[in-house]
Amino acid sequence: MNRVGEHPVTAGPLAPRWLAWSLESPRAGVTSVARVSLENAGTATWRSHGADGVRASFHWLDPLGNPIVWDGPRTALPHVVAPGEQVELELAVTAPRPPGAYRLAFDLVEEHRFWFAEVGATPLEIAVDVAPRIAERTLAVRIHGASDPATTAALTVQEEPIVEEEADAVAVAHLVSGAVPPPGWSRLLLDAHVEGWAAVGTAVIPAGRDRELDSWRGGGGRNPRFGHPLLLPSLLDGVEPTELLGLPAYAGPDGLFDGRAAVTLPRRSGGRPT
C-alpha cells in the first residue's frame, strides 16, 4: 500500500488520520477494489449500524475539485473503532466515464447527517488517471441467421474494420441476417466501449411500419438510462445476448443506447406491420 504523508488532523471528536491506500488500475466504468488504512485520531468512537452510523465512501472530482460523482457506495466499518484504533477498509470503486484525469477523495460519513470533511476533517484525496475501458479497438460481428449480401456489403465499408474472429476482438456486435448498419456504426460502438460502456445498442429502422419497434427508432441522441433492453447490442467481456422481438438483445446493467446510428432491418417474420 502507498503510505500517506503528513496531513492536517483536526482536534476534536471526529478526526481520521489516513495512513495508507491502494487502488487497482481503474478503467472507465469498471468496478475495482480500493483499500485504505486509517486511524481514529479523534475522541468519539466510530460505529456502523447497518445502513446507519459511520461508514466509508468517496467522491470522484475533476482536476479542479468539482464533483463528478459525489455519493459513492457506502462501506460499513468491520467493527467498532475506538479512539486511537486503526482499521483497514476495502471499498468497491467504480471509475467514472469518460477516461481521463480525476481526483478520488475518500471520506467518512455519519449517514443522514454529515460528511466528516463538512465538520473539519481532512479527506484522503489522490490523483487518478482513469484508462479507457478497452485497450484495443477491435470489433467482431456475429450475424444471427443465414449469410446475407446486404449485411456483408455494409460491413465491408465500415469506418473501422471488422475482425473476422471473435477471439481476436474485445467487443462482439450482434446483427441479424439482412440488417444494414450505416458506415459510422462500428466507430460509434467502439467509441462507446472506450468511454466505459460494457453494452451498446443503436436505433433500428424496420422494413415497413412495425409498431413493436417504435421505442427503438431513436432520435439522434445517446441515452444511458434507456427504458428498454438494447437491441442488436455490441457486448464486452464475453456476455451473451438474450432475445427480444426476434432480435438479439441485452437487458443488463452498464448499457448505453446510441440513437445516432440506426441499423436498417429486414421485415421480421414475427412482426406485425401496420
What is the structure's pLDDT at 65?
A: 94
- 153 exposure class (CB count in 10 Å sphere: 0-12, 13-18, 19+): exposed
**pLDDT value at residue 274:** 36
What does the pLDDT look like over 62-76, one tens digit per residue? Answer: 999 999 999 999 999
Rg (CA), the chain: 24
Complete DSSP assignment for 66-133: -EEE--PPPEE-SS-B-TT-EEEEEEEEEPPSS-EEEEEEEEEEETTTEEGGGGTPPPEEEEEEEBPS
Q: What's the CATH number of domain 2-130, 1.20.950.20, 3.90.660.10, 3.40.50.300, 2.60.40.770? A: 2.60.40.770
Residues of the chain with CATH 2.60.40.770: 2-130
For the chain, residues with pLDDT lower than 50 are 271-274
Question: Which pLDDT score is estimated for 148?
Answer: 93
What's residue 210's pLDDT?
Answer: 84
pLDDT of residue 270: 54
